[in-house]
Homo-oligomer: A and B are copies of this chain.
């Protein structure tokens, strides 16, 4: 019996492809538990697929981890650009908006920090696919923060940009170390104090 809807085919209605399901599950498990802590068997089991499906979509577990981080990277910059767009031409307010959001996220019960940062800690070896993605993300973040510090008119803009990066990374880490009530909740306040001090020069 012919379908009543003629040409609405696998593109739109169909259940997600195996590769997508795998990446979704991997993203969740890798972020919450760590990449090394999760085996491919658990990923395919929770995704409701089988192992060969994983290796048809990804050449290796390391590359799956890199794919997870590439997606993380996209979403990170979405959030970053959202804070920027909310305060056009006002980099200090952009930073404040971004850090206020981070500060709030770090107070959530199961906060696990930044997937990029965590991956770099898990894979210190240079050239590892996951680490490459992580390093590129951080380099770009540093570049943007320094550019924003310059736009603010800071005397030593590179130092201020780097100081903001230190505060951000510190928030990621202490957020997952201390949980709610930890030092990360004051990241926006401290960043603003640092900016204030750097502009007065």
Chain A: residues with CB nearer than 8 A to chain B?
A: 32-34, 36-37, 112-113, 117-118, 120-122, 124-125, 134-135, 138-139, 142, 158-163, 165-174, 176-178, 182-187, 189-190, 193-194, 196-198
Contact = CB atoms under 8 A, between A and B. Distances in A.
B166 A33 contact: no
A159 B33 contact: no
Contacts of A160: 190
Contacts of A189: 159, 163
- Of listed A113, A122, A169, residue having the most chain B CB within 10 A: A169
A159 B58 CA distance: 45
Contacts of A197: 193-194, 196-197
Nearest to A33: B124
A193 B194 contact: yes
A190 B162 contact: yes
- Of listed A33, A36, A171, A177, residue having the most chain B CB within 10 A: A177
A190 B124 contact: no
A139 to B, nearest CB: 8
- Of listed A121, A142, A172, A182, residue having the most chain B CB within 10 A: A121
A190 B166 contact: yes
A12 to B, nearest CB: 37
